[in-house]
Chains A and B, each alone.
Chain A
Amino acid sequence: MDKMPAWADAVLVPLISILLAALISALVILAIGHNPVEAFSIMVKESLTSSRGIGNTLYYTTNFIFTGLAVAVAFHARMFNIGGEGQVLLGGLGVALVCLYVPWPHWTLALVGATVAAGVFGAAWALIPAYLQAKRGSHIVITTIMFNFIAAAVLNYVLVNMLRPRGAMEPASGPFPEPTHLPTFQEMFSTADTVLFRSAPVNVSFFLAVLACFAVWLLIWRTRLGYQIRAFGHSESAARYAGISPVRITVIAMLISGGLAGMMALNATMGEAERLVLNASEGAGFIGIAVALMGRSHPFGIFMAALLFGFLYQGGLELAFWTGIPQQLITVIQALVILFTGALDNMVRMPLEKLFLALRKGKA
């Protein structure tokens, strides 16, 4: 018998974790001499109450959905892909090459081409660690984190020596041509009288992220491949018994994971920057781990967690802007959320399980 109802597991546990994180954050803000209530209301006001704020929040959310899904797919095969950063960077390279060197007639076609390129480049970057894990037993945590550094170095080299326009001082590619620019929410939803999502970077790739959530859900719970990935993730010996090749599943799951991570570049590189910059990943590769943990590797949970982290990101930036609270504190708050939802999960879960058992016993 399960220890507590599914809704408690999916909603109550993360909710309490977030509240605890908020409580500690409030104490920290109090300790440095600011008003936590005020700080919190600024965060909410600037990220959730205006269409501009929402647009910014959703922009970050889009990034986190892609990287969160990437981590989740690998999780289902019991692999810890912490190479999201590197895969995002390589995905960005793919996007940049396709946008810069292919004469696209229209953004829709460019988006399709860039999606393929981002996926292929991200997947390719995950392929090497996957192969090493499957065939040589090199631990994927070690190899993927190493590949983050290699990716950063590769990107640096490519930007400085190959993509940088002649005479430019900055290690960045030239701007992508006009037909590859993705429509932003401002362009899509504003009318003549009212401008919505003013100057917010959120763009059409948000819908792609939502689509990716649905696709991953289908993949994991409705396809034979997902069935095999989950089976392998639960028990390698059982997978062997069933004739599911560990090598094949390891490689395929990591390819999908890397591909999803790479697709984050559609939002950040193609949608927002419209050129390839050095720090194209914005740390979202690592945030994806927290998002996947908090979302229990379920696409819906990941969507919700990505919203939360989007809010924290946007709210945090505004907080630093409007108050004297230093930017570093925002990182502390984010870290607290990660700590409580990820690492300290059992601290909340176990008392809750006991509570539910006691309740059930009381009824029986």
Chain B
Amino acid sequence: MTDTPAIELKGISKSFGPVQANKDISIRVMPGTIHGIIGENGAGKSTLMSILYGFYKADSGEIFINGRQTQIPDSQAAIAAGIGMVFQHFKLVQNFTVLENVILGAEDGGLLKPSLAKARGVLQHLAQEYELNVDPDAMIEDLSVGHQQRVEILKALYREAEILILDEPTGVLTPAEADHLFRILEGLKREGKTIILITHKLREIMEITDTVSVMRRGEMTATVKTAETSPEELAELMVGRKVLLRVDKTPAKPGKSVLEVENLRHTDSAGVERLKGISLKVQAGEILGIAGVSGNGQSELLQVLGGMKTATGTVRVNGEEIDLTGRYSDGQSRRARGISHVPEDRQHEGLIMPYTAWENVAFGYHHDPKYQKNAILMDNAAIKRDAEGKIERFDVRPPNANLAARNFSGGNQQKIVLAREIERNPDILLVGQPTRGVDIGAIEFIHQQIVALRDQGKAILLVSVELDEILSLSDRVAVMFDGQIMGERLPSETNQTELGLLMAGVTQMPDKDKPLIHVVDEQLDAQKEREAKRHGHS
């Protein structure tokens, strides 16, 4: 190993209007290492990487690649400097094959055939070397998310990237797929490639990185050797104070059954069956966690129960059946039945972003008599008073009810939604992705609120793609795959591996000598095939 860093940034600053996204950031990434960058949402990680990849121009500062000062005005320059980027949201053409996507923008000439032939050779070589197996002739839309990500990595490697930046790469993967990704990264590192891994998951940092840099509010607060630190220390560096990483909770005392779902089926507007006969039960005073890779029907389950979508089957609340299709199947009638709903997508569902905080406090409860002045006018003053109380009790910052929802951070937006839904004292709370895009400090608070509601004897249905969150909050865990519930486990009697297999639709524990990823791959391929067949018939 040499002493010349593969990437060195010196004094990078960047501001957007009054917001300083990066403040005098200096960082050295040594070649042949995996360097983690961790920080809360809005800490400036993505901005920094965008500067490195030529999307933004830094206001000041210098970039050195392999010791040589380099200007990166656009992404072409970044590629030329040997930098490859794998975005959180893939940039793939859905109806192109893998090969076509790989050569897109890197064609050798006007005719495609020679480029395709060359790419096929390179891909074969890469597949062997790094376990990056993908069928070069498959359409992107037919590939699982994990495979699509491999295509993104292949794209970068095909462009001879020596430095690979991955932005939150595991957000959409099953644990087995994530493990496989990490093996790929280890392989790349052995070949001398430099990898920058951006993530907010402490576990991943601890597992795979050599060095980790922590960002907070646009500043680089520390760079430490991973072996010499701990998750607790990193969390403290990220947030700026001590954080409780584990959820403190007592064993549940489940009471009577509050929510009973039987054979719930939902078909979306494209004719695809998203819920294929879901049955579950949530008792008072317990949290049922629904685990699963996103897109396997969890969203639809919440939306059906929350009255946003229609379905067939039976849902009973406190023993009484509720209407799933007719006049009384909307958000209003669900609320009247004691169901509160913290939706997965707070920006497009839970809140009206241009509305002020106080207007949002009435959202969904705008028919409440206490918010009305008379038959015609709403009592805005009363809503404001209510909002101010909620803001105080849920520690929303800044404590300003007149601020538009879009001007709060993700965590504080979520607190507004939670305050609104929890203080309705519901019998059932539906919660989707409670801490997505929420900073660590707020996560702790939000988890405490959910557990507190459980301890008041409420039934809670929790949907999350974060397995850690599911395992630490839930009293029971159900795993969803392809619109079905694959099984139920107790958090104390299961582990990430077992849940990960269920999330990929594998119900039988596989042979010991067969690598897990192959089992998962087979299962996902079989599902894609089934879907393709179904589309063929329709």
Residues of A within 8 A of B (CB): 1-3, 218, 222-224, 227-228, 230-231, 234-235, 237-238, 240-245, 357, 360-361, 364
Which residues on A sit within 8 Å (CB–CB) of B350?
A: 238, 241
Q: Given that A231-B355, A234-B352 are contacting pairs, would A243 and B330 also be in contact in the complex, using a CB cutoff of 8 Å?
A: yes
Provide the B358-380 mask, 1 if CB < 8 A to any CB of A, else 0. 01001110110000100011101
- A235→B331 contact, CB < 8 A: no
Known: A235-B352, A240-B308, A243-B335. 8 other contacts (CB 8 A): A1-B18, A1-B407, A227-B378, A234-B355, A235-B348, A240-B349, A242-B331, A243-B333
Q: Complex: how many Å from CA A180 to CA B380?
A: 41
* Chain B residues near A223 (CB-CB < 8 A): 376-378
CB distance from A211 to the nearest CB of B (A): 15
Establish whether residues A241 and B378, one from each chain, have CB atoms under 8 Å apart when the complex forms: no
Within 8 A of A (CB), among B336-350: 341, 343, 345, 348-350
* Complex contact B362–A227 (CB within 8 A): yes
The 13 sampled A-B contact pairs (Cβ below 8 Å) are: A1-B18, A2-B407, A222-B380, A230-B352, A235-B352, A237-B345, A238-B350, A238-B351, A240-B331, A241-B308, A242-B366, A243-B331, A361-B18
Query: In the complex, what distance in Å separates the CA atom of A242 from the CA atom of B368?
Result: 13
In whole angstroms, what is the CA distance A223 to B332 when docked?
Answer: 18
Pick the 7 closest A-B CB pairs, nearest first. Answer: A243-B331, A243-B332, A242-B364, A241-B349, A243-B330, A357-B17, A234-B352
* Cβ contact within 8 Å between B307 and A243: yes
Q: Judging by beta carbons under 8 Å apart, are B18 and A242 in contact?
A: no
Q: Is the CB of A357 within 8 A of B331?
A: no
**A241's contact among B306, B353, B359, B367, by CB below 8 Å, is which?**
B306
Q: Which A residues are in CB contact (< 8 Å) with B351? A: 238
* Complex Cα gap A278–B363 (Å): 46
**Min C-beta distance of A217 to chain B, whole Å:** 12
User: Would you give the shortest CB distance from A21 to chain B, in whole angstroms?
Assistant: 28
A244: chain B residues within 8 A (beta carbon): 331
Min CB gap B369→A, angstroms: 11
Q: Is the CB of B364 within 8 A of A243?
A: yes
In the complex, whether B487 has a CB less than 8 A from a CB of chain A is no
User: Does B354 sit at the interface, judged by CB under 8 A?
Assistant: yes
Q: Which residues of B contact A2 (CB under 8 A)?
A: 407
Inter-chain contacts of A361 with B (CB < 8 A): 17-18
- In chain A, what residue has the closest Cβ to B307? A243
| CB of B447 closer than 8 Å to a CB of A | no
C-alpha gap A235/B343 in the complex (Å): 14
Chain B nearest CB, measured from A297 CB (Å): 13
A243 x B380 contact (CB < 8 A): no
CB within 8 Å for A3 and B343 given contacts A227-B362, A242-B331: no
- Across the interface, B349 reaches (CB within 8 A) one of A3, A238, A364, namely A238
Assuming the contacts A242-B331, A243-B332, asked whether A231 and B352 have C-beta atoms less than 8 A apart, the reply is: yes
Contacting residue for B353 out of A222, A234, A240, CB 8 A: A234
Nearest residue (CB) in A for B377 is A222
Give chain A residues whose Cβ lies under 8 Å from the Cβ of B376. 218, 223
* A224 and B407 contact, CB distance less than 8 A: no
Q: Is the CB of B367 within 8 A of A231?
A: no
> Whole-angstrom distance from the CB of A356 to the nearest CB of chain B?
9
Partner of A218, one of B367, B377, B407: B377
Q: How far is the CA of A2 from the CA of B19 in the complex (A)?
A: 12
With most chain B CB atoms within 10 A of its CB, the pick from A230, A237, A357, A361 is: A237
The residue on B at minimum CB distance from A228 is: B366
CB of A248 to closest CB in B, whole Å: 10
Give Cα A242 to B364, complex, Å: 4
Closest residue of chain B to A234 (Cβ to Cβ) is B352
- Asked whether B330 lies within 8 Å of A245 as measured between CB atoms, the reply is yes
Set of chain B residues within 8 Å of A228, measured between Cβ atoms: 366
Q: How far is the CB of A267 from chain B (nearest CB, A)?
A: 26
Q: Can you list, as one digit per residue, whether each of B162-204 has a CB less than 8 Å from chain A (1) or not (0)?
A: 0000000000000000000000000000000000000000000
Contacts of A240 in B (CB 8 A): 308, 330-331, 349
Contact indicator B353/A357 (Cβ below 8 Å)? no
Please tell me if B334 contacts chain A, counting CB pairs below 8 Å.
yes
Task: Provide the bound-state CA to CA distance between A234 and B405, in Å.
Answer: 12
Task: Kindly state the separation between the CA atoms of A228 and B353 in the bound complex, as whole angstroms.
Answer: 14
Q: How far is the CB of B519 from chain A (nearest CB, A)?
A: 37
- Cα distance, A223 to B362, chains bound together (Å): 13
Interface centre among A2, A231, A238, A364, by most chain B C-beta atoms within 10 angstroms, is: A238
Of listed B18, B352, B354, residue having the most chain A CB within 10 A: B352
Residues of A within 8 A of B354 (CB): 234
CA distance A224 to B355 in the complex (A): 14
Given A238-B352, A241-B308, are A231 and B363 neighbors across the interface (CB < 8 Å)? yes
Task: Given the known inter-chain contacts A218-B377, A227-B378, please indicate yes or no for A241 contacting B355, CB distance below 8 A.
Answer: no
A327 to B334, CA, bound (A): 61
- CB-based contact A360/B362 at 8 Å: no
CB distance from A251 to the nearest CB of B (A): 16
A56 to B504, CA, bound (A): 74
Q: Is the CB of A243 within 8 A of B352?
A: no
A224 and B383 CA atoms in complex are apart in Å by 12
Given contacts A234-B353, A360-B18, A242 and B363 within 8 Å (CB-CB): yes
Q: Which residues of B contact A227 (CB under 8 A)?
A: 359, 362, 366, 378
Residue pair B17, A3 in contact (C-beta under 8 Å) = yes
- A240 to B329 alpha-carbon distance, docked (Å): 11
A361 vs B16: C-alpha distance when bound (angstroms): 11
B366: A residues at CB distance < 8 A: 224, 227-228, 242
